[in-house]
Structure 1
Amino acid sequence: MARERLTVTERREELLRAAVEQIEARGVAGVRISDIASALRVSNALVLYHFATKERLVVAAFAHAAEGDLAHLRTLLGRRTTALRRLRAAVRWYAPTGQAKGWRLWIEGWSASLRDPELQALTRDLDRRWKAAITEVIKEGVAAGEFHCPDPTATALRLTALLDGLAVQLTSYPGSIPHTKSRQWTEEALTRELSLDK
Structure 2
Amino acid sequence: MTSRREAILRASATAIAERGVRGLRVSDIAEVAGVSPGLLYYHFKDRDGLLAAALTYINDQALTYRQAASGSSSSREQLVDYLLAEIQDLPEVVENSLAWNELRACAVYESPLREPLAQASRQWTAETAEAIRLARTLGEIADHTDPDQAAVTITALTEGLSSRWLSGELTAEEARTHLRAALDALIPPKQSRHAELR
User: TM-score scaled to structure 1, two decimals?
Assistant: 0.81
Matched, 1:29 2:32: no
Question: Aligned to 2:96, which of 90, 95, 102?
Answer: 102
* Contiguous gaps of at least 5 residues in structure 1: 1-7
1:116-166 C-alpha deviation (Å, 9 max, x unpaired): 333211111111111111111111111111121421222222222221111
1:98 shift after superposition: 7.6
CA contact (8 A) 2:139 2:190 kept: no
Q: Trace 1:44-83 onto structure 2 (pairs within 5 A).
A: 44-73=37-66, 81-83=73-75
The residue number in structure 2 matching 1:132 is: 126
CA contact (8 A) 2:52 2:113 kept: yes
SS at match of 2:73: coil
Moved more, 36-45 or 162-171: 36-45
The residue number in structure 2 matching 1:159 is: 154
* Contiguous gaps of at least 5 residues in structure 2: 192-198
1:109 shift after superposition: 0.8
1:25 shift after superposition: 0.7
CA contact (8 A) 2:48 2:112 kept: no
- Residue 84 of structure 2 aligns with an amino acid whose one-letter code is R
1:12 shift after superposition: 1.8
Whole-angstrom CA distance in 2 between matches of 1:96 and 1:75: 13
The residue number in structure 2 matching 1:89 is: 81
The residue number in structure 2 matching 1:112 is: 106
CA 1:132–1:94 in 2, change beyond 3 Å: closer, same or farther?
A: same
User: TM-score scaled to structure 2, two decimals?
Assistant: 0.81
CA 1:44–1:93 in 2, change beyond 3 Å: closer, same or farther?
A: same
1:75 shift after superposition: 5.9
CA 1:42–1:131 in 2, change beyond 3 Å: closer, same or farther?
A: closer
1:46 shift after superposition: 2.1
Number of positions where the alignment pairs a residue of Structure 1 with one of Structure 2 = 188
- Residue 18 of structure 1 aligns with an amino acid whose one-letter code is A
SS at match of 2:2: helix
Matched, 1:171 2:166: yes
CA contact (8 A) 1:20 1:61 kept: yes
Identity score, percent: 27
CA 1:160–1:96 in 2, change beyond 3 Å: closer, same or farther?
A: farther
Matched, 1:190 2:183: yes
